[in-house]
Amino acid sequence: MNIFYSEAHRKHSPPYEIFDGGHRVPYLESPDRIDRILNALKKTDWANFVETTDFGLDPIIAVHDQDYINFLASCWTEWLDSDPEVAASPEAHAFLPATFALRRKPRLPTTLLGKGGYYIMDLSACIVEATFTAALSSANCALSAGQSIANGSSSVFALCRPPGHHAGKDYAGGYCFINNASVAANWLSAKGKVAILDIDYHAGNGTQDIFYERNDVLTISIHGDPEFEYPHYIGFADETGAGAGLGYHHNFPLPKGTDESAYLSVLDEALNMIKKFAPSYLVLSAGMDTFEGDPLGTFKVTHNGFTDIGKQIAALSMPTVIVMEGGYANEALGINTVNLLESFK
């Protein structure tokens, strides 16, 4: 199996994020996550690491708002230039706004902090010096994987970091800046119908936002119920698309403590929807935070459960781009990722 990966992800390493209640904690979405996966993949006899292609900004602008991408590109430099005292303060290590826009068609602010609150939805999407560079390289991993299956590969893994599925058309959130899976899916949609299946523990709000009014890309997300889980405001079962996209989006919000058997049953239902849609390509947003020991999840999927998940999805026998999303039980992350991927090789 070809694995698309870039070392540029290491340059995005914020020193902290802010949890509920205002607690400043070490950044969970760290480079160590990818090292665990790399180490596990290198122990297999089927992982073939491939250089990524630089696709430029056009495939990204096709999914994301141009002004939003401009903000990501210039934010760090503007932040350091905005005030001489900033460079000497703890906040020089990460840009985060303190005020956030209520999305009732607010006016786009002219100040940097105002733009930050407009384009960032939470306190985990910290921007540091090379965040934009890392996000571009992550998107190129997904695009390179998409190009690979368009050229005839049966399945490819995009080892993306930062992840992407919480990034909407014009906002960052949940460690995500560019929606890698959506960028790849949109690129592939010019060649045939595409289905996106999101199995990350958290709802793929950004992917839902991007494709909600389209019928050429079927989007499905299986996740913790937003009644109790991040991102809280999106991912409910009655959100099924709008306009031309009505009926082409499906959320499966699940209760706390969902066990492996219940999860696999819901997955089977989602896969039947994909079969009915009959896409030319599948993009899998693969989060490992459904694992029973994940610090940001409540589900009870085991190591063997990821093997079963992989088998069920691979049985579709569909050209598949597997895009890395979340997963924060780092000691188990390599094992779970390899277990998922083995059925696709």
Residues 6+ apart with CB under 8 A from 277: 193, 195, 218
- Omega into 231 within 30° of 0, i.e. cis? yes
User: Catalytic residue among 9, 165, 166, 202, which?
Assistant: 166
CA quadruple 230, 233, 236, 241: dihedral positive or negative?
negative
Q: DSSP states of 22-87 as a string? A: S-EE--SS-HHHHHHHHHHHHTSSS-EEEPPP---SHHHHTTS-HHHHHHHHHHHHHHHHH-TTGG
CA distances from 168 to 173, 247, 283 (A): 8, 20, 17
Among 231, 221, 216, which residue's Cα sits nearest to residue 296?
231
Residue 156, phi then psi, degrees to nearest 5: -145, 145
Coil vs helix vs strand at 8: helix
Place of tokens 């839902």: 208
C-alpha 3, offset from chain centre: 17
Residue type, 5: Y
If DSSP codes are grouped into helix, strand and coil, which group holds residue 325? coil
Closest of 37, 1, 28 to residue 335, by C-alpha: 37
- Which residue is associated with the tokens 């995009």? 158
The Cα 134–Cα 160 span in angstroms is 9
Residues 115-133, buried b or exposed e (16+ Cβ, 10 A)? bbbbbbbbbbbbbbbbbbb
232 is a catalytic site residue: no
The residues carrying an active-site annotation are 166
